[in-house]
Amino acid sequence: MDSFQQTVFKLKQYWADRGCVIQEPYDLEVGAGTMAPETFLRVLGPQPYRVAYVQPSRRPADGRYGENPNRLYKHQQLQVILKPAPEDVIDQYLGSLEAIGIDLRKHDLKFEEDNWESPTLGAWGIGWQVMLDGLEITQFTYFQQCGGIDLDLVPAELTYGLERLVAFLQDKESVYQIEWAPGFSYGDVRLAEEVQHSVFNFELADVDTLWELFRLHEKEAQRLLDLFPKYEPKERFPLLAAYDQVLKLSNLFNLLDARGAISVTERVGVIARVRKLAVGVAQAWVEQQTPASAEVAR
Amino acid sequence: MSGLPFLLEIGTEEIPDWMIQPALANLRELFEGVIAEHSLSGKVSWVDATPRRLVLRADGVLERQPDTEELVLGPPKAAAFKDGKPTGAASGFARKMGVAVEDLRIEATPKGEYLAVTRKVIGRAASEILAEALPQVISRIYFPKTMYWTGKGGPRFIRPIRWLVALLGNEVVPFEFAGVRSDRITSGHRRLGSPCIEVTIDSYEASLRANYVLIRADERRERIKSGARSLAGSAGLRLRPDEALLNTLVYLTEYPTPIVGGFDAKYLDLPAEVLVTVMRHHQRYFSLEDERGNLAPNFIAVMNTNADPEGLVRQGNERVLRARFNDARFFWNFDQQKKLADRVEDLKNVTFQAKLGSYYDKAQRMVELVAELGGDSVAKRAALLAKCDLTTEMVKEFTELQGIVGGLYARVQGEPEAVAQAIYSHYKPESMEDDIPPTAAGQIVSLADKLDTLRGCFAIGLIPSGSKDPFALRRAAQGVVRILAEGEIHFRLPDSGDLGEFFRDRVEYYFREVRGFRYDEVRAAMAAGFADLKDLNARLEALRAVRPTENFEPLAASFKRIKNILRQAQFSGGANLEEALLEAGPERELHDSFVALRTVVQEHRTRKDYRGALEAIASLRPKVDLFFDKVLVNASDPRVRENRLTLLHSLLTEFSGIADFSEIVTA
C-alpha cells in the first residue's frame, strides 16, 4: 500500500512522462487548482502547454474543526492541464489510475455529467465527475471559456481529489487516518491546521480588518490594470502581480463569507467586483501574449 | 426489401444520460429528411445508443437515386424558325443540348411557345449524397449544451467525437467530421473490450456484444431489472421500483451488472427519507425493503462492467455510502443545535430573488397569504418556519430534501404534529404524478408559497417564455391548480392579466390531460369562468354527464347558430323584450318556455345542481328547432327583427353561465 506522498510521486511521474512540466503549488491562498496562474492564465492564448502540480486549496466555509472525517478547510488537489487536450486524453487519464495501483478491470468506472463553472473567474467548461466504485475521484473538464474569453485551444483539466483518492486506496474511513508517510498520518501532518483555521475562519477573523484588506487589494489590482493600456513595452507589465491581488480578493471574499459577514444584497455585488478584475487581468493577459490578436479578442 | 442497408455509428466520449433519447429521435428525423429529400427511398429501421455511441440503421436505401427527366427551354419559337427553317438560335440550342435540331420540340408555356428538349438526369450514387449530407446531420443533432474541442471556431457537439462508422451495404460512406474520418472500425467497452473492431452491418451488434457493449437500451434495461430483482429475491427483500433511476442507469452504462451491498443497521435510525435520498440521488442505488415495506439495510448498485468477483466494487460502494451516511448523521446532530424557530432571522441571509428579497421577506409574505387563504394558527406557524431548513447543513447538502427536513426537524423539536406535517409537505405536488399535501394546513402553506412566487415573479416581469422557466413557474402554477381543484381550500384564482392568462393555460391543461375532459368541454366550461376551480369541476362533470343525452348536441349546434346570427347582426343586447311584438306560434312558445325554464335553471344553479340545470336547458331544444324552422329572424319590420335578436341574446346569455355551448364541437 502506497503512502499519500508515494501516490503523489507516482502521479507526478506519470504526467512528467507524458510531457508535463511539474510545477510546485502556487504560493498564495487559492480556492482551487484552477485559480493558480498555471491554469487560469496559461489556458488563455494560442500557446500549447502541459503542466501538473499539487495545489493545496482553501475553502474556509468547508472547515469542520477537524471533526468531520471527509470534509476539510484545506484539501490537496492534483491538477493537470493538457493544452490542447490530446485525442486519447481519457485513455491517458485511465492510465494514471493504473499507475497508482488501481486495476481497472476489477473496478467500476463511470463518467457522469458535471459541468464546471466559476462566476468569479468568468470561466466554464464541459465535463464529468469520474466515479470509481461510486466514489467521485476526479473532475474532468474541457475548458471552453476563461475570463470571459473563448479559448483558442481547448485544454483538458484533470483535478484529482487526493484525500479521497488515497483514502480509497488505503481503505481508510477518515482522511485523518491516511498514512501520509511511513510513521506519519494525515492527522499528524494537518489536523492542527484544520482546527486552528476553523477557529479563525468561523470565530476570530476580524471582519473589519478583512474588509479593509479587501479594499486595499482591490484598489491595487485596479490601479495596476489602469496602468496597462499605456504601458510599454507590454511584455514587462506585471499582470502576474495584478492577478495575485485578485487571488487575495477571492480568498478574502471566502473568509468573509465563512464569517457570515456578507449580506444577501452585498453578495452579488462583491462577486461582480472580483469578477471584473479577474476578467480584466485575463483580457490584458491575452493582449500581452498575442499583441496582434488583441483587437480580435476584444 | 430491395435496396441496401445503411449503418451510422457516432462514437463519442460519454454523453449525459438524459440527453440521449431526445438526440436519437432527432437523429432519426434528420436522416429521414435526407433520404426523403434525395429520393433515396428506404426507411430508418433502428436507432439506439449507449453513453459512447449513437447508432442509426436504415434499410432499403437505393444504391442510386432514380433517373429523372428535366425539361429544358430554349429560344422562343418565333426566334427559332425563319421561313420554316431553323435559325442559328435553334441550331445553337440543339448543339448545346447535344441533340439534333429535328429532336427539338415546341413547348407551350404561359409566356408563349418555346423550343424545348427533355433531358435525362442520371441519379447520383447514394454513397456520394450521404457523404455530403452526414456531416450536416451530425452537426444538426440538437443538444441542450454543446462544446467545441478541436480549437476555437471548430465544430460543436455534446462531447468529442472519436470515431465514425458509416456503411452502405459493404462499403464505407466516406466523409469527415471534426477531423475524424468515417470508417468500418468501432470501439468496445472502455476496459473490457478492444478499442479497434472492424465490423460489417451484419456483424455489428454481435461484435459489440463480444466486446462488452450491449448496444440495445432495452436489453440493458432488462438486464438491470431482472438482475436487481433476483438479487433482491435471494436476500429475501423487495426492490423499490424507480423508473427514472432505471432509465438513468440504462444510459450511463454499456454493460450493466447489478450487485447487492449492505450498510450497518444502526444507520436506520436516521430518517428513511434521508437514507433513500443519499442512495438514489447521490449514489444512484436502488433501495430495498422487507416484506412489511420497511427500508432494509441493503442497496443495489449497477456497475458498468461484467462482474465483481473479488467484491471490490461492492466494498468500495459500501465504504462511500458509509461516509455519506456519517455525513448525514453529522449534519443531523449539528443542525439540532439551533431550532428552526431560531433560524427565522437567518433567512435574511438567503436570497430568494434579487428584486424580491430574501427568504425572510418571502416567509413574511407567506404568513400574510396564509391569512388571506383562511389559514389558522397551525398554517401560519408552518408558513413562518417552512423555509428555515434552507439554513441547515442537511438541506445545503441534500437540497432535494428541502421541506422534508424542515418537517422532520419540526417534529423532533417539539412543534405540533400538524405544523410539522404542513412544513414536510409544502413543496408538494412536485410533479403531475405527485400527491397534493395531505392536510389542509399543508395545502394552504403550499399555496401560499407558490402563489407568492408566481405573483412576485410576474410583478417583476419574470414570465416564462418557451423553454425558459428558471423559477419553475409552470410547475408552481400547476401545483396551485391541482391543490385548488382537489384539495379542501376555497380560493379564487387570478383570472385576468398576464398571470390570469398563465393560469388559464394550466387550468385547461389540468382538466384535459390529467382529468381527461374533452377539449371542447373544457373550453365551453372555462368560457363561463375558471377562477373557482371546484365550481368549474362541478360544471364540467355535469357537462360530461349531459353531453350524451339526445337533446344536448343539437341544442349546442343551435346555440352556435344563435351566436353567429348575433355576430352577423353585430347585436350585443341592451334592449328590452317587447312581448307585444312576439308572433303567436313558435316564437311566442319559445319565449314562454324560456321564461318558465329560466326560473327552474336558476333554482338548480343555486343548489349547484348543474346537471339538473343543463338537462333543463337541453329540454328547450324542440322549441328552438321549431323557432329556426318557422321564424325568420331577419324580419322586414326592424322592430320585430330587433325584438327577435333580443330574445336570442337573452337566451344565450342566460344559459351560458354554466358553459358556453357554442364551444361544443358537434358531429
Handedness of CA A192, A197, A202, A205 (dihedral sign): positive
Output the pLDDT for position B470: 77
What DSSP element (H or E) covers A264? helix A264-289
Share of chain A above pLDDT 90, in %: 85
Distance of CA B561 to the CA centre of its chain: 37
How is residue B92 written as a grid cell? 445553337
pLDDT tops 70 at residue A291: no
- The 10 Å CB-count burial string (b at 16+, else e) for B606-643 is eeebbbbbbbbbbebbebbbebbeebebebeeeebbbb
Contact A70 B16 (CB under 8 A): no
Binned at pLDDT 50, 70 and 90, residue B438 comes out as very high
Could you tell me which chain A residue has the CA closest to the CA of B284?
A134
**Structure confidence by residue, pLDDT tens digits, A103-157:** 999 999 999 999 999 888 889 999 999 999 999 999 999 999 998 899 999 999 9
What CA–CA distance (Å, rounded) separates A157 from B266?
Answer: 40
Domains of chain A: 4-200 (3.30.930.10), 206-297 (1.20.58.180)
Looking at chain B, the number of H-run helices and the number of E-run strands are: 24, 22
Of all helices (H) and strands (E), which one includes residue A145?
Answer: strand A135-146
pLDDT at B563: 87
B105-121: per-residue pLDDT in tens?
Answer: 888 888 888 888 888 88
Residue B60's Cβ-count burial label (10 Å; 0-12, 13-18, 19+) is middle
A156-161 vs A184-185, strand pairing mode: unpaired
SS3 B387: coil
Best B19, B149, B278, B349 member to test A by mutation, with max A CBs in 10 Å, is B149
B51, B148, B304 ranked by CB distance to A154: nearest: B148
- What are B266-289's pLDDT values in tens digits? 999 999 999 999 999 999 999 999
Grid cell, residue A114, equals 458535471
Q: How far is it, in rounded angstroms, from Cα A40 to Cα B228?
A: 45
**Mean pLDDT, residues B492-514 taken together:** 92
Average pLDDT of the segment spanning B130-156: 96
Q: How far is it, in rounded angstroms, from Cα B93 to Cα B104? A: 9
Q: Which residue has the higher pLDDT, A298 or B56?
A: B56
A50-103: pLDDT as tens digits = 999 999 999 998 998 998 888 899 999 999 999 999 999 999 999 999 999 999
Q: Which residues in chain A touch residue B358, judged by CB atoms under 8 angstroms apart?
A: 264
Of B536 and B100, the one with more pLDDT: B536
Q: Are B521 and B542 in contact (CB under 8 A)?
A: no
Residues of A in contact with B151 (CB under 8 A): 84, 152-154
The residue type of A88 is: D
Q: Which three cell numbers stand for residue B355?
A: 428584486
Which ipTM score applies to this complex?
0.92
Residue A147 CA from chain centroid, whole number: 15
| CA distance linking residue B537 with residue B512, whole number of Å | 11
Three cell numbers, residue A263: 449580506
Rounded to two decimals, the pTM is 0.82
CB atoms within 10 A of CB B158: 23
Alpha-carbon distance B115 to B90, whole Å?
8
**Residue contact B312–A132, C-beta within 8 A:** no
Closest CA to B137 of B266, B312, B10: B10
* Residue B283: all three cell numbers together: 449514489
DSSP run (H or E) holding B225: helix B217-234
Asked if A115's CB is within 8 angstroms of B145's CB, the reply is yes
Looking at chain A, how many residues does it have? 298
- CB within 8 Å of B50: residues ≥ 6 apart: B213, B214, B215, B217, B220, B251, B253, B254
Of residues A67 and B311, more confidently modeled: B311
Asked if B452 contacts B439 with a C-beta cutoff of 8 angstroms, the reply is no
Q: Is A151 helix (H, G, I), strand (E, B) or coil?
A: coil
Q: Do A154 and B283 touch (CB under 8 A)?
A: no
Chain position carrying cell 434552507: B390
What is the signed CA dihedral for B516, B517, B518, B520, rounded to 10 degrees? -150
- What's the pLDDT at A297? 46
Most A CBs within 10 Å, among B17, B143, B180, B191, to test the A interface: B191
| Structure confidence by residue, pLDDT tens digits, B548-579 | 888 888 888 888 888 888 888 888 877 788 88
Helix, coil or strand: residue B42: coil
Phi, psi for A68 (deg, rounded to 5): -95, 130
